[in-house]
């Protein structure tokens, strides 16, 4: 289950950012997940919640935003959003492409409580 490894890295980054910004509680975390990473959302939710337990991120809502695959054909330069398993260019029908988007995991934002009130990072 690679979701546990993803959640470990995510929690580490979240707690580090929260500490840098003097947060008392992490309320919400938004993460962008590329489709090519094959993340099972429910498994990531469970892993995140388990690893957050006992930290200032305990109970935080994990918002997962799925990013579709975007590819650029090396033959005709068309950009397209192929389904997983069929990367063929819709214009020239070649499977010679580069991935532009959809292969990333990015921490997009945190909403935290601080002594001054809620802040978004």
Contact present, 28 and 61 (Cβ < 8 Å)? yes
The rounded distance, in Å, linking the Cα atoms of 117 and 121 is 13
> How confident is the model over 74-103, as pLDDT tens digits?
999 999 999 988 999 999 999 999 999 999
- Residue 117 region, left (φ>0) first, then alpha (ψ -120 to 50), else beta? left
Q: Which residues of the chain have pLDDT under 50?
A: none
Model pLDDT, residue 121: 54
Q: What string of H, E and C letters represents the secondary structure of 39-97? A: CCHHHHHHHHHHHHCCCCCCCCEEEEEEECCEEEECCCCCEECCCCCCCCCCCCCCCCE
Model pLDDT, residue 19: 93
pTM here is: 0.84
The values of phi and psi at residue 113, to 5°, are -95, 135
Model pLDDT, residue 85: 87
The rounded distance, in Å, linking the Cα atoms of 64 and 104 is 12
Model pLDDT, residue 114: 86
Model pLDDT, residue 33: 97
Model pLDDT, residue 27: 97
Domains in the chain (CATH in brackets) are: 2-120 (3.30.2320.80)
3 three-state secondary structure: helix
51 Cβ partners below 8 Å, 6+ apart?
4, 7, 8, 11
Model pLDDT, residue 101: 95
* Cα–Cα distances in angstroms (integers) from residue 102 to residues 32, 112, 115, in the given order: 9, 27, 37
């Amino acid at each position: 289950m690679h979701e546990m490894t993803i959640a470990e890295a995510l929690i580490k980054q979240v707690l580090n950012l929260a500490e840098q910004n003097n947060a008392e509680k992490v309320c919400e975390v938004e993460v962008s997940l590329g489709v090519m990473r094959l993340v099972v959302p429910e498994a990531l939710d469970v892993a995140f919640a388990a690893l957050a337990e006992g930290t200032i991120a305990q109970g935080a809502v994990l918002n997962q935003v799925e990013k579709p695959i975007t590819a650029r054909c090396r033959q005709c330069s068309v950009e397209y959003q192929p389904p997983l398993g069929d990367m063929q260019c819709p214009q020239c029908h070649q499977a010679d492409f580069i991935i532009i988007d959809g292969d990333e995991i990015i921490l997009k934002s945190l909403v935290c409580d601080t002594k001054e009130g809620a802040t978004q990072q």
